Amino acid sequence: MDLDRRTLLALASTAAATPALAQAADPTETLKLWPGRPPGALAALPREVITDRTPTSGFRDRYVTGIGEPLLTVFRPARPNGAACVIAPGGGYIRVVIDKEGFEIARRLAESGVTSFVLRYRLPAEGWASPSDTPLQDAQRAVRLVRAAAPRYGVDPARVAFLGCSAGGHLAASLATGYGRAVYALVDEADRLSARPDLSALLYPVIDMSLPHAHGGSRTALLGAAPSPQAEAAYSPHRQVTAGTPPTFLIHAADDASVPVENSLNYLSALHAAKVPAEAHIFEEGGHGFGIYLARGKPAHGWPDLFLAWAARRGWLKTA
């Protein structure tokens, strides 16, 4: 939904005083995921609400709840190189952060020629028939739609990556290990395409749904207050890795107090055991949820360059 006039005026005033807020306008091009009601809709769809924390955060900082119509926001590069990336921001599966783990990453990738799509995915506790699989439905559909629309966006359908942060990292890992799961009924011809990403990138991801390494908020939002051991195992992607899991890039900070670094380390170990190509960077400092802007002045700030260099070695980046 649109921000009201008072909020816009406040943002303009804050932006004038805070150089960090001087960013490009949001892109207006979006791609709706589902042609009608999303799968598993029970009654009235949730009503979208955008909450803006910019005046208190000191940087552009919005999140979305009430996501009844999931969509992709499109960032077209000035000089596309044929690579595409779907970006799933975090938010503990109770919100989707727009800026620091979505739009700012998309802008950085677009600067390098990558056509980027920020995914506004549905949240499990907002009224869906299969709550635990609802975000994965949207992730699968997003990759399929990007491939189906590849000619329109000038991208190579064989070079589609999926990047996720925090709970979005759990979604990215769930897609990387569960791209072949039948979590919704075929809707159109796009659903005949593969949902497997060609590359997977995980930033400080939630992985383990079992204690002590689980992120409690994401675990409760996805599986409920008291999930069974079977549910914990089924929704812990490091237990689902196979040789078919796509090559993976991992970023985490050792001082992450929200999502223990063991989440990335355990996933890396599973990838190694399955002989899946992987690269991991564990930074001493960074905390959680740093995106790009909040990592400034720290070694973790260089992660986009590390990711793009790795992706180039994997053949994902090519000259247009």
- The two three-digit tokens of residue 105, written as one number: 């990453």
- The two three-digit tokens of residue 304, written as one number: 């986009």
Among 24-28, 46-50, 135-139, 242-246, the minimum mean pLDDT is found in 24-28
CA 286 to chain centre: 19
- Partnered with residue 161 across adjacent β-strands are 85, 199
- How far is Cα 92 from Cα 220, in angstroms, rounded to an integer? 9
Q: Which band of pLDDT confidence, cut at 50, 70 and 90, is reported for residue 16?
A: very low
pLDDT above 70 as % of the chain = 92
Range of the domain at 99: 5-313
13 pLDDT more than 80? no
Q: Answer whether residue 319 is part of any domain.
A: no
- How far is Cα 7 from Cα 149, in angstroms, rounded to an integer? 35
pLDDT at position 257, please? 95
Q: Answer whether residue 95 is part of any domain.
A: yes
Of the candidates 95, 79, 5, 59, the one whose C-alpha atom is nearest the C-alpha of residue 294 is 59
Of the candidates 150, 141, 94, 149, the one whose C-alpha atom is nearest the C-alpha of residue 119 is 141
306 pLDDT more than 50? yes
| Chain segment 54-75, per-residue pLDDT in tens | 999 999 999 999 999 999 999 9
Question: Among all chains, which residue has been given the structure tokens 């020629």?
Answer: 113
23 pLDDT more than 70? no
5 pLDDT more than 80? no
Among 13-27, 77-91, 114-128, the minimum mean pLDDT is found in 13-27
Find the CATH number of the domain harbouring 68.
3.40.50.1820
- The two three-digit tokens of residue 88, written as one number: 């799933």
Q: 13 versus 256: which is more confidently predicted? A: 256
Q: Answer whether residue 320 is part of any domain.
A: no
Average pLDDT over residues 90-96: 98
Q: 200 versus 3: which is more confidently predicted? A: 200
- How far is Cα 132 from Cα 145, in angstroms, rounded to an integer? 22
Average pLDDT over residues 117-137: 97
Terminal CA-to-CA distance of the chain, rounded, Å?
Answer: 36
10 pLDDT more than 90? no
- Structure letter (DSSP) for residue 140: H
Q: Which band of pLDDT confidence, cut at 50, 70 and 90, is reported for residue 318?
A: confident
289 pLDDT more than 60? yes
- How far is Cα 309 from Cα 315, in angstroms, rounded to an integer? 10
As a whole number, the mean pLDDT across the chain is 92
Q: 286 versus 16: which is more confidently predicted? A: 286
2 pLDDT more than 90? no
pLDDT at position 68, please? 97
**3-state DSSP call for residue 239?**
helix
Model pTM score: 0.92
Q: Which band of pLDDT confidence, cut at 50, 70 and 90, is reported for residue 319?
A: low
- Structure letter (DSSP) for residue 63: E
- Partnered with residue 87 across adjacent β-strands are 118, 163
Average pLDDT over residues 166-194: 98
- The total number of structural domains that make up the chain: 1
